[in-house]
Structure 1
């Protein structure tokens, strides 16, 4: 019997790659989308590849939308999915002084509270069956914070903490919880964030340009690398607590072992933030 996996934010980037990968490897995939148009495109792409997946409309920032989506999923799966991949996410980049409270709130609403909503809704069914998997899409940015990505890192740091707590609370329930921690990945999320990293009249304008050059200096891997990590977490008899993906994930873990002063110096030097600015 196929195991059902729900993937949020499944119509582009990592979510799309994961949905297509899991469908190709025998999972019953339910992919969430914010519009019927996006849902139709994903279904058609899967069909072109000879795979089948279902879609459900979902806005993770809307509690009623989450409730309705999970109710529909419960009906399709006779009691809820075997696994949930919390992938939906957004980035509002910029220096602390350049990101508005509205934009900061939007990041936390999607990347943290949306994850919590969906997880809370699927857990009762998993507990009742005595098994299940929760996969949280974190980031290397959830391990170390870099300039101009503070609110994204804030949400991912919080997600790491919340997931550690959840994993420990679910010990003995049969529900396994894992974090995926990708570095920079070639997705519309990343390219869009880089394009928006240019607020007008910002004191950080020159540093923003340097940050873009640093990020684009090396070709990042595609989202398929992250999709494979998700599949490993779902197919492992005993999944790991964390799956790092890519160069930045390795460097982020290493940086946590280095004195903070040295990390500050390296980052500020690379972006030329050490000079005094008004």
Structure 2
């Protein structure tokens, strides 16, 4: 029997690449989109790829929409999907003090609350079958915090801790939970982030926002997201999938540097990258003096 997988936010970026990759691999894919236009984009992408997906309208930030969508999915699948890929996400840039409460709530609602809500809806049937998988698409930001992206990093790091707890809770029922942690790929999420940059007229970080505009607008030059889709496919086909999977050499090197470097050195490197600092930190200067002796 063909296994059904729901992919949220499937009409663009990682979601679209994942939906097509899974459909080509023989899964029955149900992709969600927030609008009819998004659903048409997904169908068009599947047609160009020579495959087929089904669609359901879903706004993951809306609890009523989520319940309605997964009720429909349960009817389409005779109880519920075998797996869910929680991919829908939102990136809120900005200094911690500049992002207002409404923006913070929106960031956490989409990246943290929504995947937990969806897990709550699909787990009863997975438990009954004693089989199922939940794949949460996180980010290397789930491991490494960056200045000017504090709330985005907070949402992804919270998603990872919740996923870790959920993985241990549901394992006795035959359900597996996997975290996918991509580096930087061309998905459109950062270009869309330009619209949610905080007002900068009276911000202490005006220069950084000007630089952020250029970085976000250049995100379209990043490599395509198919490596992430392939990682999701492995998470769904491996008998014993890795609980966490960093995707891309950039993600692996960033996580390794952050784990091994002294905090002062890591802070300096990340702050320099966004234009908050220049010149090496005290720890680096001390090491340089010792080397010269």
- Name 1:267's counterpart in structure 2: 270
Name 1:3's counterpart in structure 2. Answer: 3
Aligned length: 275
Which residue matches 2:290?
none
CA contact (8 A) 1:184 1:190 kept: no
> CA–CA distance in 2 between the matches of 1:117 and 1:19?
21
Structure 1 or 2: more helix by fraction: 2
Give the match for residue 241 of structure 2: 239
Larger of the two Rg values belongs to structure:
2
Written as runs of structure 1 = structure 2, the 5 A alignment for 1:59-208 is 59-194=59-194, 197=197, 199-201=199-201, 202-208=203-209
Query: Counterpart of 1:32 in 2: which secondary structure?
Result: strand
The unaligned stretches of length 5 or more in structure 2 are: 279-293
More displaced stretch, 135-144 vs 185-194:
185-194
**Structure 1: where are the runs of 5+ without partners?**
none
- Alpha-carbon shift at residue 135 of structure 1 (Å): 0.1
TM-score under structure 2 normalisation?
Answer: 0.88
Q: CA deviation at 1:21?
A: 1.2
Measure, in 2, the Cα distance between the counterparts of 1:204 and 1:247: 30
User: 2-side partners of 1:151 and 1:263: how far apart?
Assistant: 19
The one-character-per-residue Cα deviations of 1:99-156 (angstroms, maximum 9, x if unpaired) are: 1111111000100001111111000110000111100010011101101111111010
1:223 to 222, 225, 234: 225
CA RMSD of aligned residues (A): 2.0
Q: TM-score, normalised by structure 1?
A: 0.92
Task: Write out per-residue CA displacement over residues 64-94 of structure 1, whole angstroms, 9 at most, x where no aligned residue.
Answer: 2111111111111111101000001101211
